[in-house]
Amino acid sequence: MQDRPDAHELLEALELYLRGELLDAVAAEHRFGVRVAANVCAILARETAPLAPDRSAQAALAAEIRAGAWDERLPELAARLREEVRAKLAVDHPGWAD
Amino acid sequence: MSGLEQLRSEAERHLGAVSLSEPWPLAGGASRSLLGFDVEDGCGEKQRLVLLVTKGTAPQEWEALRAAHATGVAVAEPLWLSEDRSGVVMRRLEGEAIAPRILREEGFAAARGKLLAQLAAALAAIHSIPAAQVPSAPRRAGARGELDAIEAELDRLGDPHPTLELGLRWLRQRLPTGHGPALVHGDFRMGNMLVDEAGLVAVLDWELVHVGDPAEDLGWLCARTWRFGRDQLPAAGLGSREQLLATYREAGGADVGLEELRFWETLAALRWGVLTIRQLHEHLSGARPSLELAAIGRRTSEAEWDLLGMID
């Protein structure tokens, strides 16, 4: 499961950039294309919003660790988290975990 | 009085300046901006200056710059603290501050050969400055104080990350005896160094200066994020950890061991992870809507991986 920003939050940020910053900065002949790109981001943001993951298990694990429940088993926990982080990096930054 | 009028009157008082150019932006950020300007003094000499405008940190930066300059640390000479205590005027220096260029480009090859020793010596000199000379700098209780602050920040952000919590527990089990209290730069990394072909020109950006454990600066300098791909050289992408510790010690710094450095380097990964979350939430909260800040939120996983790589 990826961290926030969720896919729809990234798409909303991209739409904001395209419409709010780039649109006025590009030459007139590119403005239509930038508007279409911003609209596509808005479509994908709406489409992916329901896919935002439930992070309650992650929050519960974080609270357990904070409370010291894993203190005697930190290496075991680290091995498990390493696999989870590796999976996140395969999306966020391929190659960082090599 | 307008900002420009204020600046003119201060330049006249401090330098006998008779004329002042229109300031121009050199760099900026959400919490600070840097403006270049020139003045002509009473003798007809042109003086190249910068005005750093901060959000509340100018007094501590002014005190730290003044003390560092007097100690012989390479910094832009600080000239005055603005009357409203929001800005610092310094001499403008030439150089490169974009770390990937310094670490990769052929023109900086000779500089790279000297930089690690120069950085270690600058750190040893900064850490030798009596904290009393920088009364406005926040006082923190060493390693434990840093961990408490990070924990409080994570709670404030309300975006729980098990790996960062694991980092906190692991570090709490290994609190070093520690050194200091000493003056700590707080953001000592290649991106805050002004460098030319001959080496270090100035240590920049004293916004995060505080009093704490000096080994914190050594750990932050070694964080993987600041190596810009030169991972075979853990110390700032310039050399080995052993080299950094030895040259720091030779320059008068404390005797910091590899295990202790590992503690602070792990804390650096944890801190970077929390910073990426903080920046993301500045975007999500609407305080600073920005695609760049949103994208930084997807770099937390890099910091988590580096953190997990430091612990057994």
Sign of CA dihedral B29, B73, B255, B230: positive
A82 interaction partners in chain B (CB closer than 8 Å): 305, 308
Residue from the list B160, B283, B302 with its beta carbon closest to the beta carbon of A58: B160
| Residue after which a domain boundary falls, among B30, B59, B91 | B91
B143 with B224, same domain: the answer is yes
B168 with B249, same domain: the answer is yes
Which pLDDT score, from 0 to 100, does residue B55 have? Answer: 87
B69 with B194, same domain: the answer is no
- Residues B61/B207, Cβ–Cβ less than 8 Å: yes
Residue from the list B163, B164, B301 with its beta carbon closest to the beta carbon of A92: B301
B32 lies in some domain: yes
DSSP letter string, chain B? --HHHHHHHHHHHHH---EEPPPEEEEE-SS-EEEEEEEE-TTS-EEEEEEEE-SS-HHHHHHHHHHHHHHT---PPEEEE-TTSSEEEEE----B--HHHHHH-GGGHHHHHHHHHHHHHHHHHHHTS-GGG-TTSPB--HHHHHHHHHHHHHHHHT---HHHHHHHHHHHTT-------EEE-S--SGGGEEEETTEEEEE---TT-EEE-THHHHHHHT-GGGGTT-TTSTBTTTB-HHHHHHHHHHTT-----HHHHHHHHHHHHHHHHHHHHHHHHHHHTTSS--HHHHHHGGGHHHHHHHHHHH--
B32 with B178, same domain: the answer is no
CB proximity list for A24: less than 8 A, separation 6 or greater: none
B188 lies in some domain: yes
- The minimum CA-CA distance between A5 and chain B, rounded to whole Å, is 6
B299 interaction partners in chain A (CB closer than 8 Å): 92-93
Residue from the list B291, B300, B301 with its beta carbon closest to the beta carbon of A13: B291
Residue from the list B170, B301, B312 with its beta carbon closest to the beta carbon of A3: B301
CATH of the domain at B282: 3.90.1200.10
Mean pLDDT in chain B? 94
B114 with B248, same domain: the answer is yes
B124 with B66, same domain: the answer is no
Residue B113 touches partner A, C-beta closer than 8 Å = no
B102 lies in some domain: no
CB-based contact B173 A88, cutoff 8 Å: no
B290 interaction partners in chain A (CB closer than 8 Å): 13
CATH of the domain at B79: 3.30.200
B264 lies in some domain: yes
B154 lies in some domain: yes
Helix (H) or strand (E) holding A8: helix A7-17
A7 interaction partners in chain B (CB closer than 8 Å): none
B23 with B137, same domain: the answer is no
B132 with B182, same domain: the answer is yes
B97 lies in some domain: no
- The minimum CA-CA distance between A28 and chain B, rounded to whole Å, is 23
Residue from the list B161, B284, B312 with its beta carbon closest to the beta carbon of A62: B161
Distance CA B115, CA B238 (A): 7
Sign of CA dihedral A52, A53, A58, A63: positive
- B42 has a pLDDT exceeding 90: no
pLDDT in tens, B211-245: 999 999 999 999 999 999 999 999 999 999 999 99
CB proximity list for B303: less than 8 A, separation 6 or greater: B225, B269, B270, B272, B273, B276
Distance CA B99, CA B105 (A): 10
B130 with B277, same domain: the answer is yes
- The minimum CA-CA distance between B170 and chain A, rounded to whole Å, is 7
Tokens read off for B20: 């002042």
A16 interaction partners in chain B (CB closer than 8 Å): 289, 291
Tokens read off for B206: 């004293």
| Residue after which a domain boundary falls, among B34, B58, B91 | B91
| Residue after which a domain boundary falls, among B47, B63, B91 | B91
Section B257-269 average pLDDT:
97
B180 with B65, same domain: the answer is no
CB-based contact B301 A93, cutoff 8 Å: yes
- Residues B183/B137, Cβ–Cβ less than 8 Å: yes
Which pLDDT score, from 0 to 100, does residue B155 have? Answer: 97
Q: How many domains does chain B have?
A: 2
B70 with B181, same domain: the answer is no
Which pLDDT score, from 0 to 100, does residue B29 have? Answer: 60
B217 with B261, same domain: the answer is yes
- B1 has a pLDDT exceeding 50: no
- B69 has a pLDDT exceeding 70: yes
B253 lies in some domain: yes
pLDDT in tens, B102-123: 999 999 999 999 999 999 999 9
* Domain carrying residue B23: 3-91
- B93 has a pLDDT exceeding 90: yes
- A60 has a pLDDT exceeding 70: yes
Which pLDDT score, from 0 to 100, does residue B43 have? Answer: 84
